[in-house]
Structure 1
Amino acid sequence: MTAEILSVLALLVVLVCAVVRPRGLPEAVFAVPAATLVVVAGAVEPGHALAEAERLGPVVGFLAAVLVLAKLCDDEGLFRACGARTARWAAGRPRRLLAGVFLLASAITAALSLDATVVLLTPVVFATVARMGVRPAPHVYACAHLSNTASLLLPVSNLTNLLAFTAAGIGFLHFAGLMVLPWLVAIAVEYAVFRRFFAADLDTPPGAAPEPPAPAPSPGEPFPLFPLITVAATLAGFAVASALGVEPAWVAAAGAAVLAVRALGRGHTTPVALVRSAAVPFLAFVVALGIIVRAVVDHGLGTALAHVLPAGTSLPALLGTAAVAAVLANLINNLPAVLALLPLAAPSGPGALLAVLLGVNLGPNLTYTGSLATLLWRRVAHRHDHTVDLARFTRLGLATTPAALLLSVLALWSTLTLIGP
């Protein structure tokens, strides 16, 4: 078997297993042996594999710290409190609740990454719609879409962002300044389409609310300010660390450490629970996937993409780059797509790298397999006995993704024209 065929087969097997998860086994159970195989078989040189692992090291460290930080915030009741206050603000009106979920999911995704929205906020939304007696689909699907769409704003909002941020060599605030308009535009497009697409669900009056799946905080219960302040301080630390050339993983680790010390001191968590919240098998999966993608890129994918990826940062080039990234994300998942495209887009500068991000972050809303976050969201929905209809998911993706991608690229081009790369 040639190295080209072996590397492609390894990638396909790993992605299929990540989607299906036979017997509920972690993704790393399949990815790590596959990565080992491509190295042993010579599909990727050991030196290249080691270099890829070293490149992903800071990114994986950051992801681990953010996952711990988000879980500790959840343990402190931050997400539950936000959901309860959003429900009270909605006052039984589904359309108002949708607006609240959009605001809450956008903020959580931007500050604590898309995984927090999928894994921690989505169950809160299920509990909220159950208490209100409203149809869940608009609000639950909003969590899925915004975990991707709202992750455009900050380098720390998405694993793909952090990879592009490192490659672009720009500051934390500069990144946010370039992406804030595309972020707002994409969310606005999603919100407009959601209101129309789910009009029947949103116009259905609330029914008799069943017993809530989890206890809701009483109106007099104090808001958990400590984790909120810790998250805000961590975000400020990211900006300072970027200016000083410090890896964001250290800042995220410091924020997680503050909450961990507090939780351990109060007996609210254990060292084992902290390690479990870091999702070590998933981190191993990310590194293994990076090595496999390196093998695929080295054996033909890189050359093929180089022929179709536009060069430069003109409006047509940015549109073409985002489109290629979106298509590739839906074919092989957004994480492999960004790993493959970043080295090719880097010579065109930060603008092209950000166009890649628009493609790999917005494009996955089109299909289940476009992003790992969507796959996680589907599992959460199934655990809450909510059937995710493939046809409905795809129709919603077709209604939102092309428009959001087009208008966000226009917004990025406008920002680059006004303030420069």
Structure 2
Amino acid sequence: MLLAGTACLAAGLLPWPAFGELAGRTVPILAFVVAMTVVTELVDDAALFHVVTDRIAVLGRGSVFLLWLFVLALSFVATAFLSLDTTAVLVTPMVVLLAVHTKIPPLPFALTTVWLANTASLFLPVSNLTNLLAQGNLSLSPLGFAQLMWAPAAVGVLVPALLLWLAFHRDLRGRYGKQPVHMPRDRTLLRASGGTLLVLLPALVSGIPVVVPAALAAVFLVALFLRRRPGSLRWSMLPWRPLMLTAGLFMVVETLHSHGLTEALAPAAGTGDSLPDLLRLAVLGAGSANVANNLPAYLALEPAAGSPLRLAALLIGVNLGPLISPWASLATLLWHERLQSLNLRVRWGGFVVAGAVAVVVALPLAVLALWLGNGMP
């Protein structure tokens, strides 16, 4: 994909002024992705997430249902504040192993993380790359973004949680025994990582450009690990493949916009802020995400979202919609990769059917919540 984008630029299909504007908009976002990846990888290496899951197992008091509720809460917080990829890559293996060790069927916990990774990503700009792109268009602070999206974000958490409980309530009954506790190798790294997150999370919603606190946190942790555990620092922790894919997608979709994509999609996207208009755009976004991927779907339809409400409806479509096809969201592919490493197999047929039901139920309710939550009659 990166080669395709570079070829478009070299051949003149992507005009240099358009590329310059695209780079000015997206380079800070990609830098933020790199910084946050480094932060979450090093925090994980310091065993902070393991300590959190140990605490969840204790707080569950032996109740499988209560344990699952804590997993829901952890998935929401990780997605909202650290991004959907963090939930897919780091939270998934820990909660699946927690279920395995407690002799609970792991599938409900695995589906909880992947569904919440996508559907809980409406709350804050940092939750999803699409949100960061939209925030630039909306010119909203993180709190302003949350005020716009709080109602559909709540639907994106509550409806999937209810559907998961209805599907797996038999597996979520009963009790579990006491679990082994992970002993961190370096308590100084553990405390420093926890302190870094405690400072970073409010900074990400303070209105400061998110790349600044993320980069400072990454530099601090890298310096600390260089001193105490240099072997943990490796080039492979950088998200090379997602970065190349994302940069290539940006360039290819911008090339298509330069050659009439906006005009071609305008009749299907419609106009207006009425409830049917917003639902139409959200459904188109969800369908496009499942055919291709949520990022190109957002980029392709962004010019058709000419108001804050329409942009919010598009985000609902491309964030809540990618529960059906495996490739609709990069987070889903990363999630599946982690499950394979744990020898947990997922039947894609069942995944697609369950995801389709969730999207059909949650997406219209989220659009309705957006419409009602922003003062529409």
TM-score by length of 1: 0.83
1:403 and 2:361 are equivalent in the alignment: yes
Letter in 1 for 2:304: L
Matches within 5 A, 1:357-372: 357-372=315-330
Measured in 2, the distance between the counterparts of 1:269 and 1:404 equals: 44
Match of 1:374 in 2: 332
Match of 1:340 in 2: 300
TM-score by length of 2: 0.92
Match of 1:260 in 2: 222
**Which secondary structure state, in structure 2, belongs to the residue aligned with residue 365 of structure 1?**
coil
Measured in 1, the distance between the counterparts of 2:109 and 2:294 equals: 24
**Which secondary structure state, in structure 2, belongs to the residue aligned with residue 134 of structure 1?**
coil
Letter in 1 for 2:137: A
1:227 to 193, 201, 205: 193
Measured in 2, the distance between the counterparts of 1:129 and 1:74 equals: 19
Contact 1:358 1:408 in 2 (8 A): yes
1:146 and 2:116 are equivalent in the alignment: yes
Match of 2:349 in 1: 391
Match of 2:103 in 1: 133
Measured in 1, the distance between the counterparts of 2:223 and 2:250 equals: 33
Letter in 2 for 1:311: T
**Which secondary structure state, in structure 2, belongs to the residue aligned with residue 142 of structure 1?**
helix
Q: CA deviation at 1:313?
A: 2.2
Measured in 2, the distance between the counterparts of 1:141 and 1:218 equals: 28
Match of 1:296 in 2: 256
Match of 2:134 in 1: 164
Q: CA deviation at 1:218?
A: 5.7
Measured in 1, the distance between the counterparts of 2:227 and 2:170 equals: 49
Q: CA deviation at 1:312?
A: 2.7
Letter in 2 for 1:305: L
**Which secondary structure state, in structure 2, belongs to the residue aligned with residue 202 of structure 1?**
coil
Match of 2:237 in 1: 277
1:217 to 175, 182, 185: 182
1:101 to 61, 71, 87: 71
Contact 1:134 1:205 in 2 (8 A): no
Match of 1:331 in 2: 291
- 5+ residue gaps, structure 2: none
Judging by fraction of residues, say which structure has more helix: 1
Q: CA deviation at 1:329?
A: 0.8
Letter in 2 for 1:404: A
Measured in 1, the distance between the counterparts of 2:140 and 2:63 equals: 43
Deviations along 1:233-261, whole A, 9 cap, x unmatched?
A: 22322333x2xxx5211121112222222
Contact 2:63 2:174 in 1 (8 A): no
**Which secondary structure state, in structure 1, belongs to the residue aligned with residue 172 of structure 2?**
helix
Letter in 2 for 1:295: T
Measured in 2, the distance between the counterparts of 1:394 and 1:200 equals: 22
1:319 and 2:283 are equivalent in the alignment: no
Letter in 1 for 2:292: I
- 5+ residue gaps, structure 1: 1-30
1:58 to 28, 34, 38: 28
1:236 to 190, 202, 212: 202
Give the alignment's Cα RMSD to 1 decimal.
2.5
Matches within 5 A, 1:83-122: 83-122=53-92
Contact 1:53 1:287 in 2 (8 A): no
Letter in 2 for 1:230: T
Aligned length: 375
Q: CA deviation at 1:45?
A: 2.6
Q: Which runs of 4+ in 1 moved over 4 A?
A: 203-206, 221-225
1:48 and 2:15 are equivalent in the alignment: no
Deviations along 1:191-217, whole A, 9 cap, x unmatched?
A: 1100111234334776x99xx9xx742
Q: Which is worse superposed, 97-106 or 230-239?
A: 230-239
Contact 1:325 1:356 in 2 (8 A): yes
Measured in 2, the distance between the counterparts of 1:61 and 1:192 equals: 36
